[in-house]
């Protein structure tokens, strides 16, 4: 090689070292940039010059320098997949644990003190009433505590509903973010393909952004992705196509007209079915992103992603005590189970509870809480109704109907009916509550009755529950209406004892799967204990997944992370190489100068 050719050796060293220094500087400048992946320099030899060969066939080759061959995007696909799976799992338990904490806060400072005190206050008022039912102070105390109980019950139940609406908004935001991520990945795919199609350049920074988006997406659900030969990435979300080479299948939201709750579904898999009226309607359940009836299992990866956790925590409707009563075949239960009323039984009711209620943190506690409220409200009213005397108007309203402590907000509790004696006997045999009506002269009004309007589980406005029940305002204004003194001026100690006995009796189960029967107060304690246990379990799983995610991230950072110490070492190395190439050029330049001077 000529001396002039030797200059190019030095030139290649300068250019190679300069490019390497630029890469190192790029790494250092992005040391704290989220999602940035370390870029690694790869140098290679330029083409050798063949200077002939020996007798034995050995070639004489002369090197022509080095070149900046590649700027590698250093990643480990297996570590990426492990990190993203753990990120999704941690996000699931994070959302679930947050929901349990909110439930505990609603029930009252983690131990249920707020509502528990109102139940205890009602129990104390009944004990005091049993001592002297005729005392107006005791009557006022009973009504006051009953009003406080109902007010607190309504407030707790309303808080559950508000939190469900809050979760509903979070679901909308999550779906919006997911679609935004999908569209951005699709745009990055096109930009990366455009840059890398020639096989020369690498769109490393764009790849970093795309990989970071995949990290973010993994927090919402279980994702599967593949880098195609054209360098684009296709993504599947929970087993369905999300980002393909030519399209983004955005998640759609179906809004329930009754509840306002949204359900994400895939438009590309949406089919139609025929409803009961013969009309073709979209089958949103079949196209739903998640099958919420799936058993939650790490083995099946059904505990991955915050979106599933939010949907499960919120549930699909506002639950009440009818959701726990396996003997009630409501329209909602029949529709969910896909069966007719004739096929409904307790076993079907238990399946409904397991598939649709127990898996939802909010709905399960919501229904259990409402069940306790319903039991207390109906029992108090029942004690009053059993002891009323229409003839003397004892524990009756002015119109002769039984006096109630708790009333329905949006419907009447009794209706006046005209029945023959035979019809009345048939209804009484069926368990219908009928009360005779007397005029002001205490004479029986024949064939006219006050009939108790039973609760209709398919009509929420007829229920005595936390949402629809209210305190009798007439009693609040005039507690002495209770009286508890019979016509002969004798104090009705019997009713006080019945109130106490009603609270002490063990006649309520927390839920259909509970094995222990409880009293009103103990059942609420069981509810708090259940919520605390769920919180403890989710906290443990969340903290475990936090550690697992941290470990996966640490392992991944050993590959993709930028080490300032290591990069500074590289900088010194490449700077020294640059200086050496520069000195080499100076030497060759001096030699050429001397030779040319001597030749001149």
The tens digit of pLDDT for each residue in 123-174 reads 999 999 989 888 889 999 999 999 999 999 999 999 999 999 999 999 999 9
Nearest alpha-carbon partner for 494 in 214, 197, 129 = 129
Vertex 524, ends 522 and 528: CA angle to 5°?
A: 115
What integer pLDDT is reported at residue 351 of this predicted model? 94
Q: Which of 98, 170, 218 is nearest to 539 (CA)?
A: 98
Range 259-286 average pLDDT: 88
> Would you state the pLDDT for residue 414?
92
- DSSP letter string over 116-166? HHHHHHHHHHHHHHHH-TT-HHHHHHHHHHHHHHHHHHHHHHHHHHHHHHH
Separation CA 282–CA 260 (nearest Å): 17
pLDDT for the residue 1: 54
372: left (phi over 0), alpha (psi -120 to 50) or beta: alpha
* Angle CA 521–525–527, to nearest 5: 115
pLDDT band at 67, cuts 50/70/90? confident
Per-residue pLDDT at 374 exceeds 70: yes
- Token readout for 139 is 């009557």
- The fraction of the chain above a pLDDT of 70, given in percent, is 95
Contact of 581 with 20, CB cutoff 8 Å: no
Q: Which of 63-72, 361-370, 443-452 has the highest mean pLDDT?
A: 361-370
Residue 435, pLDDT above cutoff 70: yes
Does 525 score more than 90 pLDDT?
no
Look at residue 68 in the predicted model and tell me its pLDDT.
66
Q: At what angle are helices 306-314 and 361-387 packed, to 10 degrees?
A: 10
What pLDDT does 55 receive?
A: 64
CA distance 87 to 83: 6
Residue 353: partners with Cβ closer than 8 Å, 6 or more residues away? 323, 324, 326, 511, 512, 513
**What share of residues in the chain are helix, strand, coil (percent, to 5)?**
55, 15, 30
Pairing of strands 406-408, 271-274: unpaired
Which 8-state DSSP code applies to residue 402?
A: B
For residue 214, give the DSSP letter: H
Q: Is the pLDDT of residue 220 over 60?
A: yes
The token pair at 59 is 């070639």
Q: Would the pLDDT of 110 be above 50?
A: no
320 pLDDT exceeds 90? yes
Cβ–Cβ < 8 Å for 144, 353: no
Mean pLDDT of the chain, nearest integer: 88
pTM of the model: 0.86
Q: Which of 93, 98, 99 is nearest to 540 (CA)?
A: 93
Q: How confident is the model at residue 5 (pLDDT cuts 50, 70, 90)?
A: low
Query: Are the beta carbons of 397 and 403 closer than 8 angstroms?
Result: yes
For 118-136, give one letter per residue: b (16+ CB within 10 A) or e: bbebbbebbebbbeebbee
Pick the closest to residue 553 from 215, 62, 264 (CA basis): 215
Block residue for tokens 């040319």 = 596
* 305-316 residue pLDDT tens: 999 999 999 999
pLDDT of residue 109: 47
* 23 burial via Cβ count (<10 Å: 0-12, 13-18, 19+): buried
pLDDT at 52 (0 to 100): 67
- CA angle centred on 460, ends 459 and 465, rounded to 5°: 140
User: What is the rounded average pLDDT of the residues 512-533?
Assistant: 86
Tell me: the pLDDT tens digits for 534-574? 989 999 999 999 999 999 988 888 887 777 777 788 788 88
Judge whether 111 and 528 are in contact, CB under 8 Å.
Answer: yes
Distance CA 66, CA 8 (A): 10
């Amino acid at each position: 090689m000529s001396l002039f050719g030797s200059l190019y050796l030095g030139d290649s060293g300068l250019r190679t070292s300069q490019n390497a220094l630029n890469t190192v500087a790029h790494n250092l400048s992005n040391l704290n940039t989220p999602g940035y992946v370390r870029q690694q320099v790869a140098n290679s030899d330029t083409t050798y010059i063949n200077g002939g060969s020996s007798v034995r066939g050995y070639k004489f080759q002369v090197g022509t320098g080095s070149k900046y061959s590649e700027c590698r995007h250093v990643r480990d696909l297996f570590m990426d997949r492990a990190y993203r799976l753990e990120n999704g799992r941690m996000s699931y338990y994070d959302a679930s644990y947050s929901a349990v904490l909110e439930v505990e806060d609603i029930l009252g400072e983690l131990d249920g003190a707020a509502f528990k005190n109102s139940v205890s206050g009602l129990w104390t008022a009944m004990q005091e009433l049993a001592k002297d039912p005729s005392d107006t102070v005791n009557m006022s105390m009973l009504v006051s505590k009953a009003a406080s109980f109902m007010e607190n019950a309504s407030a707790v139940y309303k808080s559950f509903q508000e939190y469900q609406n809050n979760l509903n908004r979070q679901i909308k935001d999550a779906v919006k973010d997911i679609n935004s991520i999908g569209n951005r990945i699709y745009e990055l795919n096109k930009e990366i393909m455009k840059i890398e199609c020639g096989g020369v350049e690498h769109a490393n920074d764009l790849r970093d952004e795309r990989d970071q988006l995949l990290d973010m997406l993994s927090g919402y659900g279980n994702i599967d992705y593949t880098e195609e030969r054209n360098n684009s990435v296709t993504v599947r979300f929970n087993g369905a196509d999300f980002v393909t080479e030519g399209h983004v299948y955005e998640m759609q939201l179906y809004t329930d007209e009754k509840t306002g709750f949204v359900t994400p579904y895939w438009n590309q898999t949406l089919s139609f079915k025929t409803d009961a009226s013969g009309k073709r309607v979209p089958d949103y359940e079949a196209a739903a992103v998640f099958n919420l009836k799936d058993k939650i299992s790490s083995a099946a990866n059904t505990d991955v992603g915050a979106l599933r956790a939010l949907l499960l925590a919120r549930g699909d409707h506002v639950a009440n005590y009818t959701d726990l009563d396996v003997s009630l075949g409501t329209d909602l239960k029949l529709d969910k189970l896909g069966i007719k009323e004739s096929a409904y039984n307790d076993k079907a009711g238990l399946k409904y509870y397991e598939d649709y209620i127990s898996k939802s943190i909010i709905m399960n506690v919501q229904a259990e809480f409402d069940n306790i409220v319903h039991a207390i409200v109906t029992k108090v009213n029942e004690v009053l109704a059993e002891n009323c005397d229409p003839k003397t108007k004892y524990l009756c309203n002015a119109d002769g109907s039984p006096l109630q402590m708790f009333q329905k907000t949006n419907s009447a509790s009794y209706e006046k009916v005209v029945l023959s004696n035979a019809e009345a006997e048939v209804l009484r045999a069926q368990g219908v509550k009928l009360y005779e009506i007397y005029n002001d002269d205490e004479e029986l009004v024949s064939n006219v009755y006050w009939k108790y309007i039973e609760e209709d589980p398919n009509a929420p406005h007829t229920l005595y529950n936390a949402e629809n029940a209210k305190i009798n305002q007439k009693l609040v204004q005039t507690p002495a209406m209770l009286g508890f003194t019979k016509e002969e001026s004798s104090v009705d100690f019997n009713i006080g004892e019945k109130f106490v006995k009603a609270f002490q009796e063990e006649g309520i189960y927390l839920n259909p799967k509970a094995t222990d029967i409880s009293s009103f107060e103990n059942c609420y304690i069981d509810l708090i204990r259940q919520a605390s246990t769920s919180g403890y379990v989710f906290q443990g799983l969340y903290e475990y997944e936090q550690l697992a995610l941290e470990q996966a991230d640490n392992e991944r950072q050993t590959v993709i992370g930028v080490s300032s110490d290591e990069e500074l070492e590289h900088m010194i190395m490449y700077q020294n190489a640059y200086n050496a190439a520069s000195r080499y050029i100076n030497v060759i330049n001096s030699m050429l100068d001397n030779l040319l001077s001597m030749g001149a």
